Structure 1
Amino acid sequence: MTELAATFKQQAVAQAYRHRPPYPDEVFERLLDLITDAPRRVLDIGAGEGALARPLAPRVEHVDAIDFSQPMVDAGKQRPGGDHPNLSWQVNPIETADLNGPYALVTAGASIHWMPWEQTFARIVPQLTPNAQLVVIEHGAVDEPWLGELIPIIERHSRKKNYDPKFDVVDAIVERGLLDLTGRVRTTPVSYPQTVAGYIERLHSTSSLARDLMPADEAASFDASVAEALRPYAKDGVLQLQIQAELSWGRPKLPG
């Protein structure tokens, strides 16, 4: 896991992140509804290039976006909203980051499974307002008709060989005694067009399929195989995706 996490420090992975679909607008509506305390400050852990932090910044008092990857933060600063005055970036792992609470909301978008949970929760809990919630957000395409052709290709090339599709990171954190789960909801799917080329680059933005993990001939073979699998489903080179997010939230607790 540590070796795979390090791929997010690769420049190519940070650049490929722009091909990931944005979070549906409903995600931000629900996040804002969960803020009940003042000041309306948000801590975004494992912020990456700021897919959550950048849209949130204009809607709250301040967002602290924390990520351990300099290339990710550099990419985020160049993306729309990356220079908003309500947004502060910091390159640090969350367990040693310089935090400036109290925070009325903590967000983690597809990132908390990379973190040492006990150290992370010991760091953030003292920085929370009385009713602050931690929200874990996963999102992506659903009901993809081409998965039957695509999954074997991914399995052949993925550097993560112990993937367990039944693993649920929120359930694992709850079982560890670090979160009192309050709610869970899926957003309404929204349409998102993406070119086949963009879809392939999105796959390369993941830790297990990063281009720098593959020899050049393997990367070329992967790209060609994925393109062939997707082509029958694309119209003029464009796929029509359905994007959905799942939000899970609760009150984080100190370890022990």
Structure 2
Amino acid sequence: MSQGTGGAGLPGRVRELAASFQDPDVVAAYVHRPPYPAEVFDILESLMAGGPRRVLDLGAGEGALARPLAARVDHVDAVEISPAMVAAGRSRPGGDRPNLSWHVEAAETMSVRGPYALVTAGASLHWMDWEPTLARAAGLLAPGAFVAIVDQHHLQLEWRDALREVIVRHSRNPGYDPAFSLPDELSRLGLFEIRGRRETAPTVFRQPMDDYIEHFHSTASLARALMPPQEAAEFRAEVEDVVGEHRDANGELVLRTAASIVWGLVVPQQPAGQP
């Protein structure tokens, strides 16, 4: 579930939440997020502009997009502000590929050099300052190249409504809205011109209860570091209460997931003070 929030100007609360990705506990919990379906990477490959197949991945985290992409393209530059995330990414499968370069820096002021045939971004784009990030990315794109925003979500959860109540009760993001669409918001703000959308076919993902609960703690809004220990225990108990009866005979949850890919062009912005 995306935990949408405004990015422009990065108010103090947004910065505080974004800083959660520096927390080793959040980094360790990332491994429990569902993997992107292989179809995601087929779609991303099809979106690349001509020329060298070089990709820039913004807010790469531990490389859920960057590592599989590096196996398919000429080069990937993975930009991630959290050293802990980069360290985790380097140690995970494909993280040490010679054509994958990790850059510990902010996307808003990244020092990488283009041109890139594609720029990708996952959910971490929520926590960036959108206007300077997209403006910087635009200057690195090959002519006609797209920015592709990828989001992963669960499908047809029988417990969705009850779970939403638990998340709203404990989320540190007061603007939490499960229906929030980052690409649509960027389009509404005049920063992004959407050129296409695709959703992958559903895939089945089996997960033990402990791992399912743990994946929530990989999000900024539900990081354990932002909860008193008693509240973290309450969150766990409430999720178990909502989901427990849905486990299969092996004690696992059978989840159906899909990913959405929205691609488009960065809309050039007028410099301040110009009509």
Which band: TM-score by shorter chain? over 0.9
Residue 222 of structure 1 deviates from its aligned partner by 1.4
Structure 2 partner of 1:253: 267
Counterparts in 2 of 1:27-66, with a 5 A limit?
Answer: 27-66=40-79
Structure 2 partner of 1:10: 23
Residue 150 of structure 1 deviates from its aligned partner by 1.8
Structure 1 partner of 2:146: 133
Out of 224, 228, 232, the position equivalent to 1:219 is 232
Unaligned runs of 5+ in 2: 1-13, 271-275
Query: Match for 1:153: what amino acid?
Result: V
Most deviating of 145-154 and 200-209: 145-154
What CA distance in whole angstroms lies between the structure 1 residues aligned with 2:164 and 2:180?
A: 18
Residue 159 of structure 1 deviates from its aligned partner by 1.1
- 2:109 pairs with 1:96: yes
Residue 36 of structure 1 deviates from its aligned partner by 2.9
Counterparts in 2 of 1:73-152, with a 5 A limit?
Answer: 73-152=86-165
What CA distance in whole angstroms lies between the structure 1 residues aligned with 2:260 and 2:127?
A: 18
Tell me the TM-score normalised to structure 1 length.
0.96
Structure 1 partner of 2:251: 237
What is the CA RMSD across the aligned residues, in angstroms? 1.2
Residue 117 of structure 1 deviates from its aligned partner by 1.7
Structure 1 partner of 2:206: 193
Structure 1 partner of 2:11: none
Query: Match for 1:82: what amino acid?
Result: G
Out of 173, 178, 183, the position equivalent to 2:191 is 178
Give the ranges of 4+ consecutive aligned residues of structure 1 lying more than 6 Å apart after TM superposition: none
Structure 1 partner of 2:9: none
What CA distance in whole angstroms lies between the structure 1 residues aligned with 2:129 and 2:178?
A: 21
Can you list the C-alpha shifts for 1:86-127, whole angstroms capped at 9, x where unaligned? Answer: 100011111111112110000001122211122112211121
> Contact 1:66–1:94 (CA<8 Å) still a contact in 2?
yes
What CA distance in whole angstroms lies between the structure 2 residues aligned with 1:136 and 1:234?
A: 32
Can you list the C-alpha shifts for 1:135-177, whole angstroms capped at 9, x where unaligned? Answer: 0010121111112332222222111122234432112212222
Tell me the SS of whatever aligns to 1:170: helix
**What count of residue pairs does the alignment treat as equivalent?**
256
What CA distance in whole angstroms lies between the structure 2 residues aligned with 1:109 and 1:14?
A: 16
